[in-house]
Amino acid sequence: MLSRAATRLLTAVPTLFVLVGLSFFLMHAAPGGPFDSERSLAPEVEARLNAQFHLDEPAWRQFGRYLGGLLHGDLGPSLQYEGRSVAGLIGDGAPVSAALGAVALLLALTGGVALGAIAALRRDSALDRGLMLLALLGLSLPSYVVAPLLILVFALALDWLPAGGWDGPASVLLPAVALALPQLAAIARLTRGALGEVLAAPWIRAARAKGLPERLIVFRHALRPALLPVLSWLGPAAAGLMTGSVVVEQVFGIPGIGRYFVQGALNRDYTLVLGVVLFYGALVVTFNFLVDLAYGLLDPRTRPT
């Protein structure tokens, strides 16, 4: 088990290397540079800036330089935020995004599994149809619609929760709901489908033939195998939630790292983009690894013997 886990973690290194390499060269292939703007700089100034950040060197040398920095845990300086290091920017924003994401993840998981299970147990009833319609709505409504709506209702009209900012537990709730909603809807649909399938399995009929009450049939016999597809979904979904969302963080004025993904790319802030991509990649790899471990707990067939 331990050696399998170690092997899994080791394969993460080439994965991340490819990720960084692709991002690096794609980024440099895109037209424009970090110091382009409407107001053009004097050629000497731009040349000096380029030299300072080694942007005048050939791309492969810059890449080598970047990798060298990575080995020392150095993500380089931001090209856009003067005097800030990429590691510092991520270090400031990541805990905020992660906290928000964790709350959203909890909401999505508990709510999604509960609603999906209810729908599966009342399959084809009005309740099932209603829930699935809501889930479809949750999936299709973009967060720039949901987030302002939430503010409108719960902050402005009802005045129950703050409309924005990052200040205490109350301020987490609305953005977490906005962030969680599509994931919750997806998990509800996944759970419904999987649980419906498992409930039709021969071993469920066999369990009924043993005279077990429905409570045990559902919670002991059906739910565990039904959660496997949800678990697979959870790896990338968790990484996505933890790295925040540009829209939600923007609407609620939350100092997370979601905005760096877009701003970094628009500004050709090479180091910042690479930094957040690497951070996101590492999270995806980590969560997929955790999912693999959890899979073994839920499904004994996947445990190594």
Partner 1 sequence: MSLLSIDQLRVRHRGVTVVDGVSFSIEAGESLALVGESGSGKSQTALAMLGLLPATATIEGSVRLRGEELLGAPRATLDGVRGRRIAMVFQDPMSSLNPCLTIGLQMAEVLEQHRGMRRADALREAQAMLDAVRINEPRRRLGQYPHELSGGMRQRVLIATALLARPELLIADEPTTALDATVQAEVLALLDELRQALGLSLLLITHDLGVVSGHCERMLVMYAGRLVEAGPTRAVLAAPRHPYSAALLASRPSLHGPKPHRLPAIAGQPPDPSRRPPGCAFAPRCAAVQPSCRVQVPILQTDGLRAWACPVVAAGNQGETGVEDRNGA
Give the residues lining the site for partner 1 (CB under 8 A): 201-203, 205-214, 216, 220-221, 224-225, 298-301
Strand-pair partners of 63: none
Q: Which is nearer to partner 1, 168 or 202 (CB)?
A: 202
What b-and-e string marks burial along 265-291, b requiring 16 or more CB atoms within 10 Å of the CB?
bebbbbbbbbbbbbbbbebbbbbbbeb
Amino acid at 34: P
Shortest spacing between CB 206 and partner 1, in angstroms:
4
What 3-state DSSP class applies to 85? Answer: strand
Q: Which is nearer to partner 1, 118 or 217 (CB)?
A: 217
Name the residue among 165, 143, 145 with its Cα closest to residue 155.
165
Strand-pair partners of 85: 77
Q: Which is nearer to partner 1, 55 or 226 (CB)?
A: 226
Q: Which is nearer to partner 1, 147 or 227 (CB)?
A: 227
Shortest spacing between CB 224 and partner 1, in angstroms:
5
| CA 238/CA 179 separation, integer angstroms | 11
Q: Which is nearer to partner 1, 36 or 214 (CB)?
A: 214
Query: What Rg, from alpha-carbon coordinates, does the chain have?
Result: 24
Which residues, 6 or more positions from 137, have their beta carbon under 8 angstroms from its beta carbon? Answer: 185
Q: Which is nearer to partner 1, 54 or 208 (CB)?
A: 208
Shortest spacing between CB 305 and partner 1, in angstroms:
8
Q: Which is nearer to partner 1, 49 or 212 (CB)?
A: 212
Shortest spacing between CB 199 and partner 1, in angstroms:
10
- Contact criterion met (CB below 8 Å) for 23 and 277: yes
| CA 272/CA 268 separation, integer angstroms | 9
| CA 213/CA 218 separation, integer angstroms | 9
Q: Which residue bears the tokens 């999604």? A: 112
- Contact criterion met (CB below 8 Å) for 147 and 175: yes
Shortest spacing between CB 201 and partner 1, in angstroms:
7
Shortest spacing between CB 303 and partner 1, in angstroms:
9
Shortest spacing between CB 301 and partner 1, in angstroms:
5
